[in-house]
Structure 1
């Protein structure tokens, strides 16, 4: 019975082997001690992964690679991070600066456009006489500031040949005023009020017939007054600070000069009264006087003490070197004692 069972099993095995060649081959390998795998084709037959799946193998490989890679120290990362932050901050500042510059340029352009659109407005200058200070000097009667009507350079105001019929209101810091060749007919007391720095007034060739007596007395710095070529009949009172007075070519007569008008002008150097109607030399004259022009007047006589001091024969008037009396009906040879204290005798008729 036992033999029969073995035979049946043997037949069954043979049938199975004959039906499956691979199984027959594996049996041969088993028989050879290779456990069903050929030595030469062992690696080809199976992918030896040490019992790991494909994903696990890749993960292990990556982990091993990470372990093998030497990462930079954390301090380096921090330094790089700081550098990146500084660069970002600098870029931000530069961007803000550029935006700020662009904004300023836009503002400047906007202001320039507004200035172009607005009418011209002169700069503010100090208050002048005859009005409250406005841009470019006080307003004139012509409806514009004096420094637009005239020319203002520093403290000098030039209003020559502007067809003015009166003195315009001047800036308070005016030092020299020129209004020659105009049509001014009168000088009022208020024309030069509050001009404490005014030193020179030149009103040559106007149509002035009268000057208020106190028109120049409120000018503590006034030194030079030129009113030649007008129609003035009487000279006004003048401050003692005068160095030059020129009233030539007017209609001044003997009554038109105040008594002892020049006596206290201790700084007076030049007195020009040419071409008027004066019939006497306006004495006393200060010792500072250098030049006296009285030609073409109506002077007929001279006293011996006109220039000299008869009580002091040692007195010498050295400064007075220029006396012009030509064109007057006077004979200078009749009063020789009047010139003994002078460095030069007057120019005039000696016959």
Structure 2
């Protein structure tokens, strides 16, 4: 009974407490805290879920790095000594402009381009030993003073060299001009025109043009020829033109009847240096040039085919009336001979007026 009374009393007290204002405020606070606690738990669960989802997507290629846990990078790595030296050399190369200079080598030939560092530190380059050449002495005397020397003229061994390698061969023409030849080189058998001007040929031998059956023109202008073999040109059945001007020839050799041009100006040909009637049978001769020699007469008889005769600056003192004309035939006219040069000779053309009556033009020369 007593226990029942206590239970009822306790219920009344509890009801009174619940009905009080303080208890109601506390209950509200507790309810608010529980609600907030539930919200925080939900947020925490969402964050954990996001973290777990993100971790599930991680692979080896995408590592998760926590910022702030790594130490700052250290860029002060130790530099090897060799790299420092290379950097210093590069800096020096940038500061010093490379000025190429020519350092002579050997006997004054071509040099090598060296930079300023190489010149300052000569010990960096090994010395190249020079091999003394025959006839040039040792190495000491072969180094020049620094100025480039003019290249010496190359010495060409012309003996035994094929003519078309030494000279220029174009078809049947062989050009050997200005090659410092001292003799006529062997020519191909089919040569038709041969040019050897401005050389040092001193003599023409009979064998130089032997068996040259197609040779038509020979030009030996400005050599040092002093003698020509008497039969040097007689074995040439097709020879038409011979140019031997500006030499030292004192005797005009025998020539074939096929000649159309003979040029022997500026030589030492005298009165007795031309064969008697040397041009009589040359029925195709058109041009005869004997200027600047020592001839004292006109070499007659001259063929009717002749067009031009140059004898200026010789020693011709007189001329006969039948030199050009035929005194036995007054109807004879030499129409082809239109160019006769006798100026520079001690001759008075007015003394022999009958010598020109068959000519289309009077010779050029002194008339007084």
Q: Scaled by the length of structure 1, what TM-score is found?
A: 0.60
The equivalent of 2:349 in structure 1 is 332
The 5 Å alignment of 1:158-307 reads 158-307=175-324
Q: Could you tell me how far apart the structure 2 residues matched to 1:200 and 1:144 are?
A: 23
Q: Does 1:347 align with 2:357?
A: no
* Runs of 4+ residues over 4 Å off in structure 1: none
> Deviation at 1:143?
3.0
The 5 Å alignment of 1:36-51 reads none
Q: Deviations over 1:47-98 (max 9, x none)?
A: xxxxxxxxxxxxxxxxxxxxxxxxxxxxxxxxxxxxxxxxxxxxxxxxxxxx
Q: Deviations over 1:170-225 (max 9, x none)?
A: 00000000000000000000000000000000000000000000000000000000
> Deviation at 1:325?
0.1
Q: Could you tell me how far apart the structure 1 residues matched to 2:207 and 2:234 are?
A: 11
Q: Does 1:144 align with 2:122?
A: no
The equivalent of 1:156 in structure 2 is 173
Q: Note the aligned Cα RMSD (angstroms).
A: 0.8
The 5 Å alignment of 1:78-97 reads none
Q: Could you tell me how far apart the structure 2 residues matched to 1:334 and 1:141 are?
A: 56
Q: Deviations over 1:14-45 (max 9, x none)?
A: xxxxxxxxxxxxxxxxxxxxxxxxxxxxxxxx
* 3-state secondary structure, aligned to 1:338: helix
The 5 Å alignment of 1:22-33 reads none
* 3-state secondary structure, aligned to 2:165: helix
> 2:291, 2:313 within 8 Å by CA — same for their partners in 1?
yes
> 2:183, 2:201 within 8 Å by CA — same for their partners in 1?
yes
The 5 Å alignment of 1:6-21 reads none
Unaligned 5+ runs, structure 1: 1-139
Q: Could you tell me how far apart the structure 1 residues matched to 2:319 and 2:179 are?
A: 43
Q: Could you tell me how far apart the structure 1 residues matched to 2:234 and 2:158 are?
A: 25
Q: Could you tell me how far apart the structure 1 residues matched to 2:343 and 2:265 are?
A: 14
> Deviation at 1:141?
4.7
Unaligned 5+ runs, structure 2: 1-156
Number of residue pairs aligned between Structure 1 and Structure 2: 212
